[in-house]
Amino acid sequence: VCSFEPGAIVTDACASYSSLDDLNAALSPYVSSLTKGTDFFSYYRLNLYNKVCPFWTDESSLCGNRACAVNTLENEEDIPQIWKAAELGRLEGPKAHHPGKKQQRERREKPLLGELGDDVGESCVVEYDDECDERDYCVPEDESASAKGDYVSLVDNPERFTGYGGQGARQVWEAIYRENCFSKPQSGQQSLSLPGVSSQLGAVSGRQGQAVQDLRSVIKEHGRQHALETGALDDGLDFEDECLEKRVFYRVISGMHASISAHLCYDYLNQTTGQWGPNLQCYKERLHDHPERMSNLYFNYALVLRAVGKLRNHVQDYTFCSGDPIEDRKTKGMVTKLAEAIPPGPEIFDESVMFRDNDPSKSGISLKEDFRNRFRNVSRIMDCVGCDKCRLWGKVQTAGFGTALKVLFELGDHDEAAKPLLRRTELVALINTLDKIGHSLTAIGEFRKMIEASDGST
Ligand code: FAD
């Protein structure tokens, strides 16, 4: 787990650190050109302020720093056409699920009023509700015109140091890691136990309110101490006792945490000089001295890369509706090029080894369902983050990982029936999450060079 030799294979993935670094160097220009160069991928619509934390109330943990604030787009004219409420309203279409071949052909031949089908032979699709599809690993962002969403430029609100911390942030991380406490022993293995959580959350999608109530009471009951006792918030989590799926859950969260740390250390505010820049000490304390966190970050890169690569089979069915067919074709071409540049086989990450023993009749709720419900809860916990900027990126990245997991575990490779189109917010979150992890790997590379340089000069 802790090996960090360039040639070593990242545990639970199939690629070495150095090959992932090489892929990142080769692919990051494609990814950046999407996240920074297209309206489709550089704006996000989400409910940033109107959702209350379903688990606790703690006004004191809100971050009042200027760096914690998010600039939202208030004026309609600042909002790119593609994201406009008017546009979303106009492009009212069916839900983005499984338009069968026949339906797609009919709609191409005879587009509905207001669709963009005229020029591009495609229809624009908007999601209306934030109810989970049963295959979702996240509580989806509702981008419909009627939702109380905010438009945010992801380029103008970079993820970096905000000063958010203390008990508020710690409480959120604890609650997130506590989701890793699967209560059901698998195949005779010991579980990290937080009794009752997984079974209580089993029916989240159908009984959301009740499940949230239950989780709230469980969190209250067990509190911070329990997370510490169970090792939920501890790098020293003993992987040997864990089945692959639990380990993957932990690694995704820890890798996301590591990526956030990499960003805040790399773009840090020196409060004495007022200058922004890399903070080597911050990197050493949060990442360099914890090789397992770095390993988890690389693991996440492999996982998300594999998911983006799998889009090669789906992107042709996806509709990019900006109102400008030329721009749409360009964006689609860029995503296709990126997906096709990723090695197609399981040489980076092999998701087929997960959830093999997925028979619910043996244990009630299946491991996969348990995993999915837990990840949804992580996405709910993001509403408890007391810093707007951190909440924005926390939500984008949780949605990005949720989408990656959905692509890996719910979408078939070529099976038409299993070919749902992703929501726009999911696709945007996925590509931006890949961008964030890639940026973290680059930042770590820079930090390593700084360490080598300082070692060489002493
Ligand atoms: P924390 O990072 O809060 O970690 C708490 C404990 O978790 C550590 O003591 C350690 O035991 C364990 N831990 C730490 N890292 C890992 C890991 N990778 N894997 C496993 N265990 C680990 N701050 C910003 O400046 N900018 C941001 O954009 C930002 N975004 C955030 C998003 C979210 C969702 C959250 C919850 C917080 C965010 N923060 C952000 C705050 C930041 O993550 C830290 O919480 C804060 O800087 C305080 O750091 P800390 O040293 O107390 O340790």
Mean pLDDT by 10 residues, the chain (458 residues): 65 87 96 93 85 80 86 77 57 35 44 33 43 66 60 92 93 91 47 29 33 38 36 44 81 96 96 93 97 95 94 80 77 94 87 73 70 88 93 95 90 56 85 98 97 84
Contact yes or no for 319/441 (Cβ under 8 A)? no
- Tell me, what's the pLDDT at 144? 53
- Tell me, what's the pLDDT at 241? 54
Atom of ligand 1 nearest to the CA of 172: 36
How far apart are the C-alpha atoms of 194 and 180, rounded to whole Å?
9
Atom of ligand 1 nearest to the CA of 257: 18
> For 239, which DSSP code?
G
Q: Is 398 in the pocket of ligand 1 (CB under 6 A)?
A: no
CA of 169 to the centre of ligand 1 (A): 7
Q: Whose CA is nearest to atom 53 of ligand 1?
A: 170
CA of 252 to the centre of ligand 1 (A): 14
- Tell me, what's the pLDDT at 350? 86
- Choice from 173, 228, 254, 396 to test ligand 1 binding pocket (greatest atom count within 8 A of CB): 173
- Tell me, what's the pLDDT at 203? 28
- Tell me, what's the pLDDT at 263? 98
- Tell me, what's the pLDDT at 264? 97
Q: Is 394 in the pocket of ligand 1 (CB under 6 A)?
A: yes
What is the pTM for the complete model shown? 0.81
Q: Is 174 in the pocket of ligand 1 (CB under 6 A)?
A: no
Atom of ligand 1 nearest to the CA of 285: 51
Q: Is 257 in the pocket of ligand 1 (CB under 6 A)?
A: yes
Handedness of CA 336, 342, 345, 348 (dihedral sign): negative
Atom of ligand 1 nearest to the CA of 162: 25
Instruction: Catalogue the active-site residues.
Output: 387, 390
- Choice from 164, 234, 286, 396 to test ligand 1 binding pocket (greatest atom count within 8 A of CB): 164
The vertex-349 CA angle with 348 and 351, nearest 5°, equals 155
Q: Is 29 in the pocket of ligand 1 (CB under 6 A)?
A: no
CA of 174 to the centre of ligand 1 (A): 10
Please give the span between the terminal C-alpha atoms of the chain, in angstroms, as a whole number: 30
- 442-453 burial code (b ≥16 CB/10 A, e <16): bbbeebeeeeee
How many C-beta atoms lie closer than 10 Å to residue 7's C-beta?
A: 9
> For 9, which DSSP code?
B
Using alpha carbons, select from 191, 205, 200 the residue that is nearest to residue 219.
200
Tokens (6 digits) for 269: 């505010």
How far apart are the C-alpha atoms of 23 and 307, rounded to whole Å?
14
Phi, psi of 352 (to 5 degrees): -70, -15
